[in-house]
Structure 1
Amino acid sequence: MYIGIAGNIGSGKTTLTRMLAEHYGWTPKFESVTFNPYLEDYYSDIPRWSYNLETYFLAQRFKDVLEITRSNDVIVQDRTLAEGVHIFVANNFAMGNLSERDYRTYMDLYEVMASMVREPDLLIYLKSSVPHLVAQIQKRGRDYEQTMSLDYLKGLNERYDNWISTCRGRVLTIEADGLDFQNRPEDFSCITDRIDAELFGLFPSEGPAENDR
């Protein structure tokens, strides 16, 4: 089984991926941020480095999804292949950070890759407001993230909502603003109860988190 964790920058995807892997004994796949050779350059000059950064992310996620496709383990992944494309690449193209030529080349490559791998059996979407994202970004203190504009985060949020509304598979939307699942066990239990209900039918799908679409 393949579980994807989706959400904007600062929504808590990586933390939730780690905690779910520990809780259920699943195998985690984390997004390559710490070791991405383009990330700091990207935030200093987005138009110059967008194609390089997005192509690097695409290659890394494709490797991960190939491993997921071939694995018999239950795997939980921090940000999916499609999410990176339909949110971040689409946003960079709309903002003029990717040329028409680079975008078409990138999408041709993505479509070939997407035809070779599986989609998540369940996508968990951490839905967060811009103020919540800003607070989380400031809290973790990555220098290259501190210059992101509110409009940039707002634009990404709008794309997330549009993308989630058109996803074909099973989606579990978690309203993250009022939750501190890292520090409050009861909040984490709210999430695992929702997951148990979706995957195993063990609990009623109710509570402070938003109901499934």
Structure 2
Amino acid sequence: MELESYRYIAIDGPIGAGKTSLAKRLASLWDAQVVLEQPEENPFLADFYRNAGQHAFQTQVFFLLQRIRQLQAPLDPALLEGRFVADFMLEKDMLFAGLTLAGEELALYETLYLQLRPQARLPDLVIHLQAAPEILQARIAERGVAIEEGISLDYLQRLSECYSQFFYHYEGAPVLTVNTEHLDPAHNDADLRTLLQHIEEMRGKRAFLNQGG
């Protein structure tokens, strides 16, 4: 499909995969509107990374309300002009909820999600970024964000598995899965050209980009 046909592109993947950097790069390239996650606004997140069991519900509810607020205006068909790039999908909220909640809390969260989720358009294309959990952990340590210091390798492993399962079954939009272990389209021009070529050559619902190291 021609690049111009993709008006709304969502980039997602586990923490440390490079979502925000790529969203900014593509938005700049296409002169597109960009919407970015704002985890630093979540007052429960640092406590969640230290003790997920005690702080998961309030952390997830805050993110749900925040993401709905962020996406409501940009995804209104009457307001959406030009291109739009986001470094998250609203649908992933249930992925995180399933990973961190259980029992009555999960049931309550699902009810909130279904009640509050806007009837918004789906992305025209999803770019799913992935990397080995050990690489994700190294990237997180390198960027040195204090709120992320409590993220464990076990959590990243489980999160990566959840993302893989989620996108294996996802049918809402075409998905291009990109292994970022040896590919950096956000900062490397040659890698960016490779990514854009794969996007333009996509046919069907699934495609994969995996450059060997």
The counterpart of 1:35, out of the listed 32, 41, 59, is: 41
Once the two structures are superposed, the pairs formed by residues 123-142 of structure 1 within 5 Å of their partners are 123-142=126-145
* 1:53-107 deviation digits (Å, cap 9, x = unpaired): 1101001111122223213222111111111222x111102xxxxx522211110
Q: What is the match of residue 150 of structure 1? A: 153
1:121 corresponds to which of 116, 120, 124: 124
The farther-off stretch of 9-18 and 139-148 is: 139-148
Structure 2 CA distance for partners of 1:198 and 1:67, relative to 1, 3 Å: farther
Equivalent residue for 2:3? none
Instruction: Select between 181-190 and 162-171 the one with higher mean Cα deviation.
Output: 181-190
**Per-residue deviation at 1:176?**
0.9
How much has 1:22 moved relative to structure 2?
0.3
Kept after mapping to 2: 8 A contact 1:29/1:77: yes
Q: Secondary structure of 1:147's partner?
A: coil
What is the identity, as a one-letter code, of the residue corresponding to 1:126?
Answer: L
Q: 1:151 & 1:43 partners in 2: Cα distance?
A: 12
User: Which sits farther off after the overlay, 123-132 or 181-190?
Assistant: 181-190
Paired amino acid for 1:158? E
Is contact 2:68–2:118 with CA below 8 Å preserved after alignment? Answer: no
Q: Could you tell me how far apart the structure 2 residues matched to 1:19 and 1:133 are?
A: 20
Structure 1 position 132, deviation (Å): 1.6
- d(CA) in 1 for partners of 2:144, 2:119: 37
1:14 aligned onto 2:17: no
Is structure 2 residue 53 aligned with structure 1 residue 78?
no
Aligned length: 199
The structural deviation recorded for 1:180 is 2.5
Q: CA deviation at 1:30?
A: 0.4
Specify the alignment match of 1:24 in structure 2: 30
Residue aligning to 1:61: 67
Query: What per-residue deviation string (whole Å, max 9, x for no partner) do you get for residues 82-138 of structure 1?
Result: 11222x111102xxxxx5222111101112234622221211100211122112111
Amino acid at match of 1:151: D
Q: CA deviation at 1:149?
A: 1.8
What is the distance in 2 between the residues matched to 1:27 and 1:48? 36
Whole-Å separation in 1 of the counterparts to 2:199 and 2:33? 16
Q: Partners of 1:109 and 1:37 in 2: how far apart?
A: 20
**In the aligned structure 2, how far is the partner of 1:151 from the partner of 1:39?**
17
Q: Gaps (5+ residues) in structure 2?
A: 1-6
Contact 2:37 2:67 in 1 (8 A): yes
- How far apart in 2 are the matches of 1:29 and 1:115? 16
Computed over aligned residues only, the root mean square deviation of the Cα atoms, in angstroms, reads: 2.2
Query: What SS is found at the alignment partner of 1:209?
Result: strand
TM-score by length of 1: 0.85
Q: What TM-score, normalized to structure 2?
A: 0.85
Q: Does 1:189 align with 2:197?
A: no
Give the conservation status (yes or no) of the 8 Å contact 2:133–2:157.
Answer: yes
In 2, Cα distance between equivalents of 1:37 and 1:151: 23
Helix, strand or coil for the counterpart of 1:34?
Answer: helix
Classify 1:117/1:182 alpha carbon distance in 2 versus 1 (closer, same or farther; 3 Å): closer
| Percent of residue pairs bearing the same amino acid type | 28
Give the 3-state SS of the residue equivalent to 1:4 in structure 2.
strand
What residue identity is the alignment partner of 2:174? Answer: R
Residue 47, structure 1, aligned to residue 53, structure 2: yes
